[in-house]
Amino acid sequence: MALDIKELSSNKSFGGYQKVFSHESAVTKCEMKFAVYLPPKAVDNSPCPVIYWLSGLTCNELNFIQKAGAQKISSELGVIIVCPDTSPRGCNIPGEDDGWDFGSGAGFYVDATEELWKNNYQMFSYVTAELPEVIKKNFPTNGKQSIMGHSMGGHGALICALRTPGFYSSVSAFAPICAPTECPWGLKAFNGYLGPDKTKWDEYDACKLVAKYSGPPLGIYVSQGESDQFLKDGQLQPEKLVDACTKACVPIILNRDQGYDHSYFYIASFVDDHIKHHAKFLKD
């Protein structure tokens, strides 16, 4: 496993540093980039908990750090924020750059099994295994981590937490794709990455995973804007996640926020609440 990293940029922010790094991934077999916010406590080499942020379709490692405004609250609470890219890049796979909702920028946080994609598109393993080892080796962490994300990344955060019981202390999401086996984005991605065997799809659908979850409490916290254009066209389906959690007796908090859409203006409005939520679970 390749654990060495290369610093690409560094900017002081609220007493800490917002940095971007690259490394050669043994999992995706290409160069991967990720952003890290180091609060002052981490700059002083004191161990800190980590919150992973997974971004949505068309995004990369920079969107959250440039638009969400999370550095101030992260500095105050002493949490490291890690933002990986949303897919491998430049793998010379036929069709990888043909569309915005499949291929580059759209890895869906699955481990692909289809021939064209399985060599590189191993984003579930990258996020849950390789990247945490990279972070552990290179930064002062205390062994506690939580995960959150937006849209495709909200889907990613939910499945990562549900498939690795006990690894994350809590999980949250903005406007997550809750039932990807039943929406157009998910159908396209799962057919392409996982093939026609729908039993493979169930392993990456939060509603299906909640139904059989038996791990420790996850502190699931979801925010959904009521004016979200993708809520109206059936891509997100938060009601299905709530129903699945209710049936499985898995606690969930769903905030439905009037007037907010799918953009980073929504995320910036409530990101402090999400990070404070995680901080409660990440206390020593």
Structural domains of the chain sorted by starting position, each given as residue range(s) with its CATH number in brackets: 6-282 (3.40.50.1820)
Q: CB–CB of 14/31 below 8 Å?
A: no
Residue 1: pLDDT band by 50, 70, 90 thresholds? low
Q: What is the pLDDT of residue 284?
A: 67
What percentage of residues in the chain have a pLDDT greater than 90?
98
Type of residue at 47: P
Q: What is the pLDDT of residue 49?
A: 98
Distance, CA of 51 to CA of 35 (rounded, Å) = 12
Characterise 283 by phi-psi region: left (phi > 0), alpha (psi -120 to 50), beta (else). beta
Q: What is the pLDDT of residue 172?
A: 98
Q: Strands 16-25, 48-54: parallel, antiparallel or unpaired by DSSP? A: unpaired
Distance, CA of 243 to CA of 233 (rounded, Å) = 19
186 closest CA partner among 174, 169, 198, 172 = 198
Q: Strands 16-25, 6-13: parallel, antiparallel or unpaired by DSSP? A: antiparallel
pLDDT above 70: residue 117:
yes
Mean pLDDT, residues 226-245 taken together: 97
Predicted TM-score (pTM) of the model is 0.97
Question: pLDDT tens digit string along 247-271?
Answer: 999 999 999 999 999 999 999 999 9
218 closest CA partner among 175, 281, 271 = 281
Mean pLDDT, residues 219-248 taken together: 97
Q: Is 55 a catalytic residue?
A: no
What percentage of residues in the chain have a pLDDT greater than 70?
99
Looking at the DSSP bridge assignments, the partners of residue 6 are: 22
Which member of 262, 274, 277, 278 is catalytic?
A: 262
Q: Is 151 a catalytic residue?
A: yes
DSSP E strands in 30-150: the ranges are 30-38, 48-54, 80-84, 141-150
Q: CB–CB of 235/183 below 8 Å?
A: yes
Which residues, 6 or more positions from 71, have their beta carbon under 8 angstroms from its beta carbon?
13, 14, 16, 18, 37, 65, 81
Residue 3: pLDDT band by 50, 70, 90 thresholds? confident
Q: Is 23 a catalytic residue?
A: no
pLDDT above 90: residue 209:
yes
Which member of 228, 274, 277, 278 is catalytic?
A: 228
Which member of 151, 170, 172, 223 is catalytic?
A: 151
pLDDT above 90: residue 39:
yes
Q: What is the pLDDT of residue 191?
A: 98
Question: pLDDT tens digit string along 50-89?
Answer: 999 999 999 999 999 999 999 999 999 999 999 999 999 9
Distance, CA of 200 to CA of 48 (rounded, Å) = 36
**Residue 55 structure tokens:** 């971004």
Distance, CA of 249 to CA of 109 (rounded, Å) = 26
